[in-house]
Each structure stands twice: as structure tokens, then as C-alpha cells.
Chains A and B, each alone.
Chain A
């Protein structure tokens, strides 16, 4: 399955640069010590725009929820239908979610609550994107 490519903008560049180095970073507000994802120009809690940083996270999480996409509007993904799309909650801050196709997990055979770890996969233009893999056992 090949995702669309990514054209980092100045705002998201640090996230995508880290991904190319196989590091997962999430935007954090130093004032609140609060992660937020997707990132924003200001902290959604306190409104500060000069306290935002990109913070490394552990790369572990759990499967919070999932669905199976059978009819996808994205042309590049249509040949891979049906596929899992799961919501991952990060270890350390379960309020932060990331999406995942759960590579290696059979379609519609997703363990809610299962432990996952981040991996990095290339997109159509070579940009690496964080994905998640179920940890066996």
C-alpha cells in the first residue's frame, strides 16, 4: 500500500524531518507541558504561540479504535481496499491520537487495546511517515 506523498510546509517541516530520521516527535507546549496533535500555530490550551516545541515521544502506544475502509476517496489507496484504519493512542499521553493502516495486521482482525510500536514507511514521494505495528505477544 502506497500513501500519497507529503510536501512538508514550514509549519510541519520538523515533524517530517524527524520522520525521515525515523524519529517520532509531537508538538508540545512548554508552558502547559501539553502535547497536541495535529499541530497548531498556538497552544490550544493556553493560546501561547511562542512556547511550542517538537518533543520526542517513546514510539509506543495502544490501539484505541479501528474501522475498515472499503470505499476510499483517495485514488492512490483505492487499489488496496479494503484496509484497516486504526486510531493509536500514545503511551504517556493517551489523549494524543495517530492514524495507522497497521501494516502486517490482517484486515478486520485488529485487537482493540493491543500494544503497538512505531515504524516508518515511505510514501509515494519517498517521505517517511510514522506507521504502527502490533507488538506480538
Chain B
């Protein structure tokens, strides 16, 4: 399913698979405990919206790809009574937390009786980026001709990543070798950024224009959290005044955990031509399964892998960096977006140049749009906005966020981390 080697040539299904429908459920900061808003319910909502958006009948759908994990840091506390009123509001699976703290294909199909013809199901673990690779390959291989793909997030009360092992008195021996020192989630990225700044003579302050741009774009993303709930800008003073989490990563360099669900409908290019929205063609998908030598990736490892990933992206799509209209690489920790940019060689920038690039016009109105989706910084923790934006931009329906300084023809999105990850190349035309 995954194209994680160089030298594979043009993707065999280049231009023959298309994304058509987009669906998003409303976001919230945390789950309020009601059946209508649990992660399963919002997943159904997003899927149904994607079906409607594509203008297909539910019985036409023969495939479903799901990201089963719906959190990285918010867990149902051990010993806490299960929300039986919520669980019993739905058709259940063997896992009582299905639909509450995870989602399965079984749970979704049991609770979406209109999907009468799904023959193919598969999981794309962890991220929508992974699930998109699975979906594109599955449609291309003929395993499914009209396939839904969904990624959802839940968020419970309490602080993210706190609780569980972090609240305990002791750790298992193998985990302790890396976890005893208490680095928060952004610690590894913060260190790579620190090394980058020392190597290239840059500073954290240089991130401010990127942050301001990302939040600006996010406020033009009506499906996103900040636009829906707290339409606050993030100017340089705001950003630079924030407290450190793991210096040099501050509060706003970390995305805000939310509840959300995003879904797409993929099909063959042939079938997509008759659907309700303009098809967005997949030129390639690429993956990296590189692991660091030791506890944390070094900057050298990051730069080598982002460059290698870019070569895979371009090779399979039959394009070069010059063909990119814009990029929507991942930004969950803002401090690694530049590694993706530099690896891509976006607009010709070399290693060490991205922060200088941020000081130029990176707006959606300019010739070099950076993260027009606004990403997770702009709309909250989802790992989905980047893909939705690519589809909407290339369909010409990104509304006030539509890029105007470039003609939206080809884009790339993906992540999450600079080492490893999954990436998709999107195009307004199949050629």
C-alpha cells in the first residue's frame, strides 16, 4: 500500500484516482458527554456530509478507510465508569469505548445502515495522511471504486498527555529509557529547531510571520476551531509573549487539541467526472518509514529524510518542485513546518533558508503561499485541514481562503513528522 522507496517510477495510477466529496463535523474543544457529540457521532456526521457533497447515493459506496486512533494524548481514565448512556445510544461492538475513544469500521458500518454495499474496509493508522495513501492505492488497484475515508479526534477534560503513565509513580523499564526525563510532546521538535538555529544562525522570533499567516488563514477556514469558537488573530506580540513549553517551543508552537472529524469521498477518475464536485486527481502518494538512529532524530537525519521524501513525491508524480502551486505540509508543531518546506525545495529554498523565506510574502494573495490551509496552527489539532484545503483550493471552493497569487493546479500535503510520514500530490487535472 505504501510507496516508501525511491526508484519506483511514476505511480501506476497517476491521475486515475480522484477526491470529490468533503465533509466536516463542527469542532468543539472537548467532549460534553452527550451521545450526539461523541467521536463516533461526529464521524458519522462528517461521512454523511462527504457523501452528500459528492452527490452520490450511499449504496454506491463500496469502500471505507478509517483511522482508528482518535487521540494521541486524551485517554479514558482507567477505572472511570463507562458512559453507558452514550454507548447504548448506538449499535455497539465488543469494545465499549468504540465510538467514544476510538472508531472502528465495524462501529461505523453498524451505525450507518445506509452503507449497504461496503465490500472493502481497511485501516490507515494514526493519521489522515496515512489513510489517504491507503485509499488512493485501494481505488487505483480496483479494490474499491467509491471509497470513503475518515479521520476523527476526541478530546476529554483535563490536560493533554497528563494522566496515565505520566501521572504514575513508575515506568516500565524499556519505556523509562526515554520517558524518565519528562520532555513534553514538542520537546523533540524543539531540539531540532534549536540545532537548526545554532547551525544556520536563526532565531525563534523569525517564526512570527509564519504563525500570523497560519492563524490568518485558519480564521478563513469555517470548518476550523478558531474560526468557529475564538476568532482571535495571532500577531507577533501575541506569539512572542507566550510562555515556553519546552524552550524553544512556546505555547502557540503547539496545536490546540480539539474534537473534530473530517471525511472525503474518493473514486475512480472516470466515475468522479459525473459527481457533484470537480474531481481533484491524485498524481502520487509517497511514504517515509525512516527511523532515527537513537532517541531523537538529529537535524542531519531530518534534512536527509525530508529531501528523500521530496524525491519520492516528485518522482512518482512526474513533477518537480517548480510545478507546485502551493504546499500544505504538516505543522502540528509549528517549528518543523520549515523542515518540510526545505526538503521539498519549495520555491527553490535550500536548507537553512526557510525562516528567511517566512519574512517574505507567504500569504494566499502572494506568489509563494505557505500553508494556505493555516494547518493545525490555524484551525486546531486535526492533521486534516491541510488535505481539505488542497481539495478545496483545486476545486476552486476555498472561499475567502482561495489562493489568488498563484493558479491552483498542483499541491502537496502530508506529514506528520519530518522523519517518516505519508504524503499526497493533488492536481486539478489528471495529466
Distance A71 CA – B183 CA, assembled complex (angstroms): 9
- Residues of A within 8 Å of B178, CB to CB, are 38, 99
Q: B291 — which chain A residues lie within 8 A by C-beta? A: 44
Q: Does A29 have its Cβ within 8 Å of any Cβ on chain B? A: no
- A12: B residues at CB distance < 8 A: 172-174, 176-177
Which of A3, A13, A74 is B173 in contact with, Cβ under 8 Å?
A13
**B164's closest neighbor in chain A, by CB?**
A73
Nearest opposing residue in chain A for B170, CB measure = A5
A100 to B295, CA, bound (A): 12
Quick check: is B90 within 8 A (CB to CB) of the other chain? no
Of all chain B residues, which has the CB nearest A12? B173
B144-179 residues at the A interface, CB under 8 angstroms: 159-162, 166-174, 176-179
Q: Which residue in A3, A75, A82 is a CB contact (below 8 Å) of B181?
A: A3
User: How far is A13 from B187 in the complex, measured between Cα atoms in Å?
Assistant: 27
Binds A, one of B42-50, B101-109, B244-252, B415-423: B244-252
Whether the pair A4, B169 counts as a contact (CB closer than 8 A) is: yes
State whether B174 touches A123 (Cβ < 8 A). Answer: no
Cβ-based interface call for B294 (8 A): yes
How large, as a class, is the contact surface on chain B? 35 or more
Q: Does A129 make an interface contact (CB < 8 A)?
A: yes
Q: Determine the distance from Cα of A3 to Cα of B166 in the docked complex, in whole angstroms.
A: 11
Instruction: Check if B296 sits within 8 Å of A97, measured CB to CB.
Output: yes
User: What string of 1s and 0s marks CB contacts (under 8 Å) between A33-74 and chain B?
Assistant: 000111100001000000000000000000011111111111
* Residue of A75, A101, A125 touching B167 (CB-CB under 8 A): A75
Contact A69 B191 (CB under 8 A): no
Compute how far the CA of A125 lies from the CA of B180 in the bound complex, rounded to whole angstroms.
13
Min CB gap B70→A, angstroms: 19
A-side interface mostly: mixed
Total residues of chain A contacting the partner, CB 8 A:
48
Q: Per-residue CB proximity of B231-260 to A under 8 Å, as 1/0?
A: 000000000000111111100000000000
Our pick among B159, B180, B243, B247 for the contact of A108 (Cβ within 8 Å) is B247
The CA of A6 and the CA of B245, in the complex, are separated in Å by: 25
| Interface flag for A96 (CB, 8 Å) | yes
A74 touching B247 by the CB < 8 A rule? no
Contact call B170/A125, Cβ cutoff below 8 A: yes
- Let me know if B229 is at the binding interface, CB within 8 A: no
Q: A1-16, CB under 8 A of B: which get 1 and which 0?
A: 0011111110111011
A112 within 8 A of B: yes
Cβ-defined contact, A74 with B294, below 8 A: no
Q: How far is the CB of A12 from chain B (nearest CB, A)?
A: 3
B405 within 8 A of A: no
A-B CB contacts (within 8 Å), total count: 141
**What distance in Å separates the Cβ of A17 from its nearest Cβ neighbour in chain B?**
10
Given contacts A38-B174, A68-B246, contact A3 B180 (CB under 8 A): yes
Which of the residues B162, B172, B177 comes within 8 Å of A37, measured between beta carbons?
A: B177
Is B396 an interface position by the 8 A CB rule? no
- A128 to chain B minimum Cβ distance, whole angstroms, is 12
Check A69–B187 contact: CB distance below 8 A. Answer: yes
Q: Which residues from chain B contact A8 at a C-beta distance below 8 Å?
A: 173
User: Closest CB-CB distance, B93 to chain A, in whole Å?
Assistant: 30
A68 touches B244 (CB 8 A): yes
C-alpha spacing A15/B173, complex, angstroms: 9
A119 within 8 A of B: no
- B169 and A82: CB pair below 8 A? no
Q: Tell whether A18 is near chain B: CB-to-CB under 8 Å.
A: no
Residues on the B chain within 8 Å of A101, using CB:
181
Chain A residues whose CB sits within 8 angstroms of the CB of B353 once the complex forms: none
B173→A71 contact, CB < 8 A: no
The reply to whether the CB of B194 lies closer than 8 angstroms to some CB of chain A is yes
Q: Once bound together, how far apart are the Cα atoms of A67 and B198, in whole Å?
A: 13
A39 to B176: give the CA distance in the assembly, Å: 12
- Chain A residues with CB under 8 Å of B243's CB are 70-71
A8 to B245, CA, bound (A): 30
Q: How far is the CA of A98 from the CA of B171 in the complex (A)?
A: 17
B195 part of interface (Cβ distance < 8 Å): yes
CB of B390 closer than 8 Å to a CB of A: no
Given contacts A5-B171, A65-B191, A67-B248, contact A73 B295 (CB under 8 A): no
Indicate whether A87 reaches chain B with its CB closer than 8 angstroms. Answer: yes
| Cβ-defined contact, A124 with B184, below 8 A | no
With a CB–CB cut-off of 8 A, which chain A residues contact B296? 65, 87, 97
Is the CB–CB distance between A69 and B246 below 8 Å?
yes
B257 nearest CB across to chain A (Å): 13
What are some 15 contacts across the A-B interface (CB < 8 A)?
Answer: A6-B171, A6-B180, A12-B176, A36-B294, A38-B295, A67-B183, A68-B246, A69-B184, A69-B187, A69-B246, A70-B247, A73-B161, A73-B162, A87-B296, A99-B181
Known: A6-B173, A38-B174, A99-B178. 12 other contacts (CB 8 A): A4-B168, A7-B172, A12-B172, A36-B294, A39-B174, A67-B194, A67-B246, A74-B166, A85-B246, A98-B295, A99-B181, A100-B181
- List the 6 closest A-B pairs by CB distance, nearest first: A12-B173, A5-B170, A8-B173, A97-B294, A99-B181, A74-B182
Which residues of A are interface residues toward B (Cβ below 8 A)?
3-9, 11-13, 15-16, 36-39, 44, 64-77, 82-83, 85, 87, 95-101, 108, 112, 123-125, 129
